[in-house]
Amino acid sequence: MVCGGFACSKNALCALNVVYMLVSLLLIGVAAWGKGLGLVSSIHIIGGVIAVGVFLLLIAVAGLYMIILGLVFIFQFVISCSCLAINRSKQTDVINASWWVMSNKTRDELERSFDCCGLFNLTTLYQQDYDFCTAICKSQSPTCQMCGEKFLKHSDEALKILGGVGLFFSFTEILGVWLAMRFRNQKDPRANPSAFL
């Protein structure tokens, strides 16, 4: 049997379905891990990656391809490139904007979990943030590391992982579209030879 035949295409599509299920679970897991860092949850791109993962899982379970998978490729490619393209100053802007939208309770929880005080020393309210900080580092030393730097480190890491994983696996979706088109246009050798494709 040749590898370009009906059975080979069918088996390749089944294997690709399994790979897509694993990739979608990986995307959801990595994005949820990034979202679980606290501050990174305010970045809408991570929500987009989770949505792509869920959508890809639904497509893999249902076995629907071609047009839908092509659209997922475009969406996932754009989101992945966005994750990789966000520079440090943009991340700083997002972190700074989300810090002032958070409730005091959320800020306090983040300061304790990351063991830091205040956001950036660039803000006028930094001293007020520092005075109300309840992190352990404040009682152990006269100065604490600023939370902004720690948040930037974690968000940068999460965005690079999300972007890389999403970009790599978005190209396998093109393979899925090609395989689905090929499989669709092949005749089943077990079927009636006079039947329409």
CA–CA distance, 13 with 103 (Å, rounded to integer): 48
Quick: pLDDT tens for 44-79.
767 777 888 888 788 777 766 677 778 878 888 998
Please, which residues have CB within 8 angstroms of residue 104's CB and are 6 or more apart in sequence?
A: 132
Distances (CA, A) of 26 to 23, 99, 103: 5, 29, 31
pTM greater than the 0.85 cutoff: no
Quick: pLDDT tens for 17-28.
888 888 888 888
